[in-house]
Structure 1
């Protein structure tokens, strides 16, 4: 839970609850992208492919919710990909090498992720280390620990039920992993829109000193935000392990870039105080649909990196231009 401010806050209006948080432009872009791919390929606008897109964005979607909280307070988290790998390796080692029950191994892996997030938060709040440097250091530490656990080796094979979480479509369309992503989306949206704690994050991102004077415990909130981001990264690692039926310490490389990109494309400001889960969902879908569409069009992975990089640059440039006009 994020710490709450003193005093009451009024209930949000219906219009604010369904606000896209500045992501109207990205939503239009997403619809145009879907329309283009529907005409450019025969297989994009099919039920099977659209379900594949949902499966493919589960990891990114879960991580992006945590990154939304971080960016809202004006922070950044470069360690999410490495913490994802650390969570996977802790789970895999405990269950497959030590024989621990998989559910318990998952819980301990999430606690390990939380510990990494707590260390990052303490570095930022208690030692005044900039978020960029703190999370860069944690990125290196977590990746190193992930490799040390099995000396850089992957672990393959988990109980059948675990892999089926990402395969069986309940009701013909919804896997457990996709359902988990939707629950995380809903929980994040409710927290930001319907709780005082959520409003505190916007206040901290707007002006930390004003937020502190208003009675918000900025330090505790910051630590809890980084713990939340780390736990969601660890949870994304568990989801990825279910999809792959294996874990390896090299997982999650460059995931932090996609995660930050999804949040920024969704209308969040890197300076903090602006954004929301609705926009982040749109950003995640933009990246997921773009990658899927480029694959269907036969575009090479190297060219895909260039295209997605251009999209990220355009999204940030649009944010800057919007600020100048405002």
Structure 2
């Protein structure tokens, strides 16, 4: 075999390896993280720090899944937004606003309830989703119609939504929530936490839209090259408005689950949640410059953050170090971004 043929074969094998790492690297990283934490747990048992390996227990698995459901729902919407080369910094504040208004329609407290305290379960859900829809729509229409930077527009919504959250209750939390509302955050169906089921259903719908529908192709086209997308007849304004509206609705749904899970609505709820959502999307391989990304990658990005937080908590690692590790993961993922874009092209 000639040296030219050997070199060509070597390059082909190298290309296949790189392609495989792009496609399955996030899955391997998740498996490796689970193995490392499980081994650390066994060490903790062997040294007498633990009586059993809690990380591997079924109870802890359900706890992790319940914990990641909120960030997972936020990350679904954030994936759509970032694929269009945008970003939504307001999801945490929209979550807090939707959650506290929903709580006022689900509380038994006469002083906090709006229009009585016997509303059906559908009412707080509908009101919260409506708030998320309006906030997301405003983000999308303003940044699209006036060609403004998503960073600036959504930062403005972040501030406005947080102010409205405080104004709604004069800075007071809302408690005494009805049992049927709290079931949305703490209930089980066939042994599976309700938040996890909601997340799975929303993820399946979003995956179908992004991968099987024409709108999904439009989302990638707008993120890949907005000018070319507009030239080819795609209504860029409509795509962006729908994407940001979807992100706002999902933030509201996450707010409902968080409020139901904690049993009260706090005015500070959702603070910095947008950072975890962005982190999950970026770690999952979605490019910040747009046009590249998958919901599968986002799913494993959410799992990596959730498992890492859970494992480090169980091992007694201080939250300060957890933030450092999370920041390093984000930077590392962004460093890989150019190679991923090159590989896709």
TM-score (norm 1): 0.90
CA contact (8 A) 1:21 1:279 kept: no
Selected match of 1:44 from 37, 43, 55: 55
Q: Is the 8 A contact 1:154 1:247 kept in 2?
A: yes
Long gaps (5+) in structure 1: 1-18
Return 128-137 or 301-310, whichever deviates more.
Answer: 301-310
Q: 1:95 to 1:162 in 2, by over 3 A?
A: closer
SS, match of residue 143 in structure 1:
helix
TM-superposed deviation, 1:296: 0.8
Q: CA deviation at 1:171?
A: 2.2
In the alignment, structure 1 residue 86 sits paired with structure 2 residue 97: yes
Q: Structure 1's 215 and 21: CA in aligned 2 closer, same or farther, altered over 3 A? A: farther
CA shift for structure 1 position 101: 3.4
55, 65, 69: which is aligned to 2:76? 65
Q: Distance in 1 between matches of 2:313 and 2:266?
A: 24
The offset of 1:166, in angstroms, is 2.9
Which residue is 1:26 aligned to? 26
State whether residues 22 and 266 of structure 1, in contact with CA within 8 Å, keep that contact through their aligned partners in structure 2. Answer: no
**1:315 — aligned with what?**
333
Is the Cα contact below 8 Å between 1:21 and 1:267 reproduced in 2? Answer: no
The verdict on how the C-alpha distance between 1:156 and 1:133 changes in structure 2, with shifts beyond 3 A counting, is same
Write out per-residue CA displacement over residues 156-176 of structure 1, whole angstroms, 9 at most, x where no aligned residue: 12111222333333222x122
Q: Secondary structure at the match of 1:128?
A: coil
Structure 2 gaps of 5+ residues are: 1-18, 42-52, 108-112
CA distance in 1, matches of 2:265, 2:248: 18
Task: Report how many aligned residue pairs link the two structures.
Answer: 307
191-200 vs 96-105, which moves further:
96-105
The structure whose Rg is larger is 2
Task: Check the 8 A contact 2:106/2:181 in 1, yes or no.
Answer: no
Measured in 2, the distance between the counterparts of 1:255 and 1:232 equals: 13
Give the conservation status (yes or no) of the 8 Å contact 2:93–2:158: yes
Q: Residues 119 and 21 (structure 1 numbering): CA distance in 2 closer, same or farther, change over 3 Å?
A: farther
Residue 156 of structure 1 aligns to a residue in which SS? coil
Aligned partners of 1:157 and 1:245 also within 8 Å: yes
Q: How far, CA to CA, are the matches of 1:219 and 1:317 in structure 2? A: 30
Query: Do the aligned residues in 2 keep the contact of 1:93 with 1:150 (CA within 8 Å)?
Result: no
Paired with 1:129 and 1:306, the residues of 2 have a C-alpha distance of 32
Instruction: Tell me the equivalent position of 2:135.
Output: 116
Aligned to 1:143: 162
Separation in structure 1 between the aligned mates of residue 263 and residue 128 of structure 2, nearest angstrom: 16
Verify the 8 A CA contact 1:72 1:269 in the aligned structure 2.
Answer: yes
Contact 1:21 1:274 (8 Å CA) reproduced = no
The 8 Å contact of residues 21 and 278 in structure 1, kept in 2 or not, is answered as: no
Q: Who is 1:15 aligned against?
A: none
Q: Aligned pair in 2 of structure 1 residues 47, 111: CA closer, same or farther (>3 Å)?
A: same
Aligned to 2:7: none
CA distance in 2, matches of 1:233, 1:148: 19
Question: 1:109 and 1:70 mapped to 2: Cα distance?
Answer: 21
Alignment of 1:205-244 (within 5 A): 205-244=223-262
Q: Distance in 2 between matches of 1:233 and 1:154?
A: 19
The answer for the alignment partner of 1:189 in structure 2 is: 207
Q: Are the aligned partners of 2:22 and 2:340 in contact in 1 as well (CA < 8 Å)?
A: no
What secondary structure, in the 3-state scheme, does the structure 1 residue paired with 2:88 have? coil
Find runs of 4+ consecutive structure 1 residues off by over 6 angstroms.
none
CA distance in 1, matches of 2:300, 2:98: 27
Q: Which SS does the other structure have where 1:298 is aligned?
A: coil
1:126 has 2:140 as partner: no
